Amino acid sequence: MPPISEFWSTWSLDPWALALVVGAGGLYSWGLARAARAGIRWPLWRAAAFFLMGLGLYTLANFGFLGTWSPELRWAFSMRIAIMLFVVPAGLALGLPVGLARLTVRPGLLRTALGAAARRPMKFFANSAVAPVVGLIVLSMMLTPLAGVSRLSPVLEGLLSIFIPLLGLLMVLPMVEEQTKVSTALIMLEFVFAFIELLADAVPGIVMRLSPAVLDGAAAFSGPKPPWFPSSIVDQQLGGDFLWFIAEVMDLPVMILLFIRFSKSDKGERKVLDELTDEQMDELNAAHLHLRN
């Protein structure tokens, strides 16, 4: 592992990541400015989450040590991908970019086009069974030569720096931006899939950690190596450790969010039932028994 001074003093410019930071930051700032002109008080903590936890961590992951050494170090590449897939989207989603757009984009052609473009992806990723599968597919890339090819190709690595956080954002946005009420039964089903995701996300990291052979097929780094540079197999093992840790830790807030949604939904349903009269409850029970028969 590099010394702390090396980690904080290593910086490089990634034009792909810079384009995303400028684009996303500019659009969100434009939304904040329009909200302020309209007299809408947008929560400061949401803007801070978007810029610091979202774009800030994304900038650190791509311009700092991880982005600079990503082509040479498997663990830097794995950690960078995990941060962009799980941590960065969480910060961006807490900023409620879709909610801000709803408040600030006026009804018209632009709003209609944006709504049409986002409707199908949001509906697809709103399915609680999608996130575990997508997350497992992305992380399983680390177990194939595709990881080595992507890591060593500037174009593919640049595309990943844009595609991965957008994919992660689609996975978490439907849960954070959800406006429609859902039943406790549906939330319990989401709990099941979230638990499956918790288990599935650990598999690629465990395989990387325990495998006796290098999995990505990339040749060992042949350039001048600093004294802290690990061997190929240790490099892969460190990548598995970081991938496993980040994926599992970031699944916990999802479980907490689902628990909060379950509590609110259950409280709302109990309130509705408490307001029913005895006659209405008898009718509801009779209808329920009729459906079961």
53-70 per-position pLDDT tens digit: 999 999 999 999 999 999
Residue 189 has pLDDT above 60, yes or no: yes
Name the pLDDT band for 185 (thresholds 50, 70, 90).
Answer: low
State which of 124-128, 227-231, 259-263, 277-281 shows the largest mean pLDDT.
227-231
- The pLDDT, as a whole number, for residue 281 is 54
- Return the pLDDT at 1: 77
Q: What is the reported pLDDT for 226?
A: 87
Predicted local confidence at residue 283, as pLDDT = 61
pLDDT band at 106 (very low <50, low <70, confident <90, very high): confident
Q: Which is more confident, 114 or 179? A: 114
Task: Determine what percent of the chain is predicted with pLDDT higher than 70.
Answer: 77
Overall number of domains in the chain: 1
Mean pLDDT of all residues in 43-49 = 94
pLDDT for 244 equals: 87
Q: Is the pLDDT of residue 289 over 70?
A: no
Distance CA 284, CA 291 (A): 11
* pLDDT for the residue 238: 93
Confidence grade of residue 258 (pLDDT, cut at 50, 70, 90):
low
* Owning domain of residue 87: 4-292
pLDDT at residue 124 in the model? 76
> Which one is predicted more confidently, 251 or 169?
169
Q: What is the mean pLDDT of the chain?
A: 82
How confident is the model over 132-175, as pLDDT tens digits? 788 888 888 889 999 999 998 999 999 999 999 999 998 888 77
- Compute the average pLDDT of residues 233-257: 83
